[in-house]
Structure 1
């Protein structure tokens, strides 16, 4: 019972990160506003899009080819990204609701995913 939940959550999170990356590549201004720090399209938004998309692909590849232990370590490490995003939004004067309700909450969910993957 735990295995499908662990895999399902990890797959969902990786697909979500791929979606976020694609959004930063295709709609950078709207994506930046949703991130909590509005910005005009520029190279940094493209970099964020590529970074997020590639992290999602890597997470799925680890699940498919390396197994749950490697994927769990990946999720544990990648949780640093939304934690950093929380600080970026707060330091940039962005909405606290976005910083904690989106970015910090995402970090917690990613850590839960890591724990579930370690448990299977």
Structure 2
């Protein structure tokens, strides 16, 4: 069970780092994958997407650092807290009448996987 938890943790952290990198490098191209109905069309309007990119890269690192230092319990608690970010994203998308499939599928699914990995690290 511990191995599964570590694999889920690393996959989630690396996934969010990659997504964050894309929001920094090609924000207009990746914007439609977030799920909000309105996306910036001009390069100068992508500041909020760059902020999301920074947030995502840092979030992934915050998950990986305690795991790499050999603190699975701490990583489990960090993951449980980090699961609130995709929940917040999901609720924001739903509130602003965005893509429900992306809200539930991507953001809700991510929240479940991250929380599951956190629980597995805490019990394993």
Q: TM-score range by the shorter chain?
A: over 0.9
User: What is the match of residue 81 of structure 1?
Assistant: 85
User: What is the match of residue 44 of structure 1?
Assistant: 48
Q: CA deviation at 1:66?
A: 4.8
Q: CA deviation at 1:56?
A: 0.6
User: Highest relative contact order (Cα 8 Å, sep 6+), 1 or 2?
Assistant: 2
Partners of 2:88 and 2:11 lie apart in 1 by 21
User: What is the match of residue 12 of structure 1?
Assistant: 11
Name the TM-score, length of structure 2 as normaliser: 0.91
Unaligned runs of 5+ in 1: none
Q: Please provide the CA RMSD for this pair.
A: 1.1
2:98 paired with 1:99: no
Unaligned runs of 5+ in 2: none
Q: CA deviation at 1:42?
A: 2.1
Tell me if the contact between 2:35 and 2:93 (Cα under 8 Å) persists in the aligned partners.
Answer: yes
Partners of 2:70 and 2:95 lie apart in 1 by 37
Name the TM-score, length of structure 1 as normaliser: 0.94
Taking the TM superposition and a 5 Å limit, the aligned residue runs for 1:58-77 are 58-77=62-81
Instruction: Encode CA deviations 1:3-51: one digit per residue, 9 max, x unaligned.
Output: 2111111001000010110010011112221001242242211111001
Partners of 1:58 and 1:101 lie apart in 2 by 24
Partners of 1:32 and 1:90 lie apart in 2 by 16
Partners of 2:70 and 2:89 lie apart in 1 by 28
